[in-house]
Structure 1
Amino acid sequence: MNPRIDENRSHPRLPDLLAAYHLVNQAEKGTAVATVAALPAVYRAEAEDPAAAFAADTVLLATPPGGDEPVGCVVLKATREGRAPEIKRLWVMPEARRKGLAKALMAEALRRAAASGAPAVRLTVWSWRDEPLALYRGLGFATVDPWDDRPDLLCLEKPLDAVERLSPEAVRAHAADGLAALLVDAVDGGASVGFPAPLDPAEAAAWWAGVADEAQAGVREVWAARGPDGRLTGVVTLVRVGAANGGHRGEIARLLVHRSARGRGLGYRLLATAEAHAAATGLTLLVLDTQTDSPAERLYRGAGWTAAGTIPDFAADPSGVLRPTTLYYKRLG
């Protein structure tokens, strides 16, 4: 079971979450106050009327599995004056911590920032806040020159890989370089994606050329992530079922993230992009298969996919050893 992330700046629980955040924050800064009414005006306004305070921003709420109300929040500020969007007010109530809620909130905020086309996202954190700082570092945030000069306040930024849909022509153009490199890297890393190791780059390029033909025929759609330097860092494809009784169904195939780009939530964003497109174009069910106990399983489970069953000795891994495969599905809408 995974936490539920909702967007709602008017939720009746949000004022309490923001009040708790600001009261603790003031105490940590050595300027403790006892009530919301005693907070500095800008913070008091957020706690008293968050819908107005964040009218232009995205407010996300986290509800734990089986829970009835949110116990965490985060705000993704709207882009202003050409600056990168900023993440603020990440907060999870103490009794609900260490259950993945903060990470889930950050993953969704980063996904939305990337979907908006932002090249980067930024945030500030007090230097003594060890746990949030460790979370941000783990997500790929790095310290940058400060835009806020308050003592002990760290300014962090994270470049975002832009996710874009590739036309059949673009798939052909990248088949022999970026796309082939992603497939070769996956096989070299031990991923069971249909090829023994070592994979010849020419064979990988030929496979992607076939994908371009499928894209041209409307059978398969392709999305790729491009890093700040323009290099392809990840890819995912959506295959549409050709059977007359399966037009409601699609398959997620070849979700690949280069090993140098992992740990940044990119796989989740690629998957979410394909899922959103599938739902928007009328599909109501998605399926996929992946090697049992592989890192990919954690991604799919975390993204709300359900395991349907495991088949032993389903496919050989790159070294030739037969491995079990787990089938997954996800209902859309």
Structure 2
Amino acid sequence: MTARIEENRSHPSLRDLLAAYHLVNQAEKGTAAGTVAELPAVYRVEAEDPAGAFGADTVLLATAPGDDTPSGCVVLKAALAGRAPEIKRLWVAPEARRKGLARALMTEALHRAAAAGAPAVRLTVWSWRDEPLALYRDLGFRSVDSWDERPDLLCLERPLDVIERLTPDAVRAHAPAGLAELLVDAVDGGASVGFLAPLEAGEAAGWWSGAAEEAAAGVRDVWAAHAPDGSLAGVVTLARTGADNGRHRGEIARLLVHRSARGRGLGRRLLATAEAHAAATGLRLLVLDTQTDSPAEHLYRGAGWTAAGTIPDFAADPAGVLRPTTLYYKRLG
């Protein structure tokens, strides 16, 4: 089970979470406050009226599996002109730690920022906060020139993956390297995507060359996620049927995220991009199939897809073992 994330700057638990954050923060800075009333005015306002203090921002709360009340929060500040949006006030109650809430909150905040088109996200962290700093580093944040000169305050920034629709020529250009590598990585990782292991790079590139021809014919759309270093971190395709009686539907296929890029919501962003394009171009129904009990099922269910049924022994996994497949559908509009 995973944490439940919700956006709600008016949740009654938020005041207590922000109060705890600020009281601990002040004590660590050597300016301890005994109560919320003793906090500096700018922090006191946040704890007393978070809905007003963060009226233009995205406030996320996390509830641990099995709990009814949120025990973690984070704020994604609205982007100012010329600046990347900033993550603030990441806090998990001590009794709820070691349950993945902080990572879940950060991942959702990064997803929200990317969905809004932000090229990067930034944050500050005190140098003595080893655990949060380790989390930020693991999520891809790196030190940058300071925009806040307070002693012991580190300024970090993370470029976000950029998703673009590939032209047929771009698919051809990426087929021998980036796209082939994504397919090989998926098969090596045990994903059932139509190939047995080991998958040769040339065979993978050949599949993508065929996809490029389908893109040129207008029956397949391809989106790729570019990592900050320019490499391809993920891909998804949307196939359209040529049958007259099926022009209202499409199929999601080859949703792949490189193993080195997982855990930051990229699969969900790729899927949402394809879904939005499908709806905008008149499709009313999407279908897909995936190996039963695979990690991908969690993604699709969380994105609102409905399981239509399971077929036993439908396809062999990369090791050649027959596995069941579950069919999913999603209505658009």
TM over 0.5: yes
How many angstroms does 1:232 deviate by?
Answer: 1.8
Corresponding residue for 1:183?
183
Q: Distance in 2 between matches of 1:126 and 1:193?
A: 44
Q: 1:175 to 1:103 in 2, by over 3 A?
A: same
Kept in 1, the 8 Å contact 2:110–2:264? The answer is: no
Q: Distance in 2 between matches of 1:243 and 1:93?
A: 55
1:121 aligns with 2:110: no
Corresponding residue for 1:16?
16
Corresponding residue for 2:232?
232
Please tell me the residue identity of whatever aligns with 1:181: E
Corresponding residue for 2:109?
109
- Per-residue CA deviations over 1:258-307 (Å, capped at 9, x if unaligned) read 33433443233323433454566676765543335555455556666666
Q: Which moved more, 1:72-81 or 1:299-308?
A: 299-308
Q: Which moved more, 1:319-328 or 1:302-311?
A: 302-311
Please tell me the residue identity of whatever aligns with 1:47: A
Q: 1:141 to 1:48 in 2, by over 3 A?
A: same
Q: Distance in 2 between matches of 1:246 and 1:37?
A: 64
Q: 1:138 to 1:213 in 2, by over 3 A?
A: same
How many angstroms does 1:156 deviate by?
Answer: 2.6
Corresponding residue for 2:142?
142
Corresponding residue for 2:171?
171
How many correspondences in the alignment? 333
Corresponding residue for 1:274?
274
How many angstroms does 1:247 deviate by?
Answer: 6.9
How many angstroms does 1:87 deviate by?
Answer: 0.9
The 3-state SS of whatever aligns with 2:182 is: helix
How many angstroms does 1:162 deviate by?
Answer: 0.7
Corresponding residue for 2:37?
37
How many angstroms does 1:249 deviate by?
Answer: 5.7
TM-score when normalising by structure 1: 0.80
Q: Distance in 2 between matches of 1:123 and 1:30?
A: 22
Q: 1:278 to 1:91 in 2, by over 3 A?
A: farther
The 3-state SS of whatever aligns with 1:254 is: strand
TM-score when normalising by structure 2: 0.80
Kept in 2, the 8 Å contact 1:139–1:265? The answer is: no
Kept in 2, the 8 Å contact 1:162–1:227? The answer is: yes
Corresponding residue for 1:90?
90
Corresponding residue for 1:196?
196
Q: Distance in 1 between matches of 2:12 and 2:299?
A: 31
How many angstroms does 1:68 deviate by?
Answer: 5.8
Q: Distance in 2 between matches of 1:215 and 1:193?
A: 19
Q: Distance in 1 between matches of 2:288 and 2:101?
A: 26
The 3-state SS of whatever aligns with 1:31 is: coil
Corresponding residue for 1:26?
26
How many angstroms does 1:321 deviate by?
Answer: 3.5
The 3-state SS of whatever aligns with 1:238 is: strand
Please tell me the residue identity of whatever aligns with 1:60: L
How many angstroms does 1:309 deviate by?
Answer: 5.9
Kept in 1, the 8 Å contact 2:76–2:87? The answer is: yes
The 3-state SS of whatever aligns with 2:147 is: coil
The two structures, once aligned, show a CA RMSD in angstroms of 3.6
Q: Distance in 2 between matches of 1:136 and 1:86?
A: 13
- Per-residue CA deviations over 1:76-122 (Å, capped at 9, x if unaligned) read 12333533322111123344444433322211211122223333222
Corresponding residue for 2:6?
6
Q: Distance in 2 between matches of 1:156 and 1:102?
A: 17
Q: Distance in 1 between matches of 2:187 and 2:254?
A: 12
Gaps of 5+ in 2: none
Q: Distance in 2 between matches of 1:70 and 1:141?
A: 26
How many angstroms does 1:55 deviate by?
Answer: 3.5
The 3-state SS of whatever aligns with 1:79 is: coil
Q: Which moved more, 1:295-304 or 1:84-93?
A: 295-304
Q: Distance in 2 between matches of 1:200 and 1:206?
A: 10
The 3-state SS of whatever aligns with 1:175 is: helix
Kept in 1, the 8 Å contact 2:108–2:265? The answer is: no
Corresponding residue for 1:56?
56
How many angstroms does 1:36 deviate by?
Answer: 1.9
The 3-state SS of whatever aligns with 1:206 is: helix
Kept in 2, the 8 Å contact 1:140–1:264? The answer is: no
- Per-residue CA deviations over 1:105-162 (Å, capped at 9, x if unaligned) read 2112111222233332222223443443333233222344443343443333222211
